[in-house]
Amino acid sequence: MKTRIIISIVFISLGLILAAIPQNTTLKYKLSANEMLVESNNMVMYYSPDEVADLLVQKDPSIQLIDVRPPDQFEKFSLPGAINVPLTEILNEDYRDLLHQDVRYNIFYSNGSTDALKAWMIARQLGWKNNFVLQGGLNYFAELIMNPQTPPSTSPNDEIAKYQFRKGAQAALFGATSVSSEAEVATSAPKPPIQKKPSKKRVQGGC
């Protein structure tokens, strides 16, 4: 329900953004508002923080993180390997080849979800391919991956496994190495299942 409310707010904000775009830079939209609403309600655009963390740890070449925050925020902190494309510059021709291609899967993120969803909606309406959104943005990513909460030692194995995975991802991505909780050492639970997008096409060669 909360996500649908955010999407509704984003639709309203999107109209204001499009109204502010100079006419000579506005491109022809390919989807109706109804079609956009169906896609948004199906939640097909999201990557979860766990999935993004897993892909980053693996150094998966098929993804590219796109930080749509202002440059000053990007310079203070960004996720590993991210490229800054401020939301206000999303239609700049310099970024077209990056945002409209069929090689990598772009994952937009902002502090929350709102600005990243705006970027996704604009790209999707233009028919640009392979663009997605980090669910919950940096705030949710920080909560789950950068500062995971220690579960009680009596928690189910899958909850402990999620915590262990997140602590491992934190260490691999941000250099945290402390191991202090009983939950971390009490079990050797397997890596938790992470729902991935189906049929991902891997990049051949390159870096």
Domains within the chain, CATH numbers bracketed: 2-140 (3.40.250.10), 148-186 (no CATH)
Alpha-carbon distance of 17 to 58, in angstroms, equals: 36
Confidence (pTM): 0.73
pLDDT at 176: 57
Mean of pLDDT values over 156-183 = 78
CA dihedral 110, 75, 140, 56 (to 10 degrees): 100
DSSP code, position 144: I
pLDDT at 153: 87
**Residue 45 and residue 133 in contact, taking contact as beta carbons nearer than 8 Å:** yes
Statement: residue 50 has pLDDT above 80: yes
Q: Phi-psi bin for 193: left (phi > 0), alpha (psi -120 to 50), beta?
A: beta
pLDDT at 122: 92
What is the overall mean pLDDT for the chain? 78
Q: pLDDT confidence of 27, banded at 50, 70, 90?
A: low
pLDDT at 29: 63
pLDDT at 42: 72
pLDDT at 194: 46
Going from the C-alpha of 35 to that of each of 44, 46, 124, the distances in angstroms are 13, 17, 10
At 122-169, the pLDDT tens digits run 998 898 989 999 999 999 999 999 999 999 989 999 999 999 999 999
**Residue 36 and residue 149 in contact, taking contact as beta carbons nearer than 8 Å:** no
Strand order in the sheet with 46-47: 46-47, 131-134, 105-109, 63-67, 83-84
3-state secondary structure 48-83: CHHHHHHHHHCCCCCEEEEECCCHHHHHHCCCCCCE
At 72-126, the pLDDT tens digits run 999 999 999 999 999 999 999 999 999 999 999 999 999 999 999 999 999 988 9
Statement: residue 8 has pLDDT above 70: no
Alpha-carbon distance of 101 to 40, in angstroms, equals: 21
Q: pLDDT confidence of 41, banded at 50, 70, 90?
A: confident
Statement: residue 1 has pLDDT above 50: yes
Mean of pLDDT values over 38-61 = 89
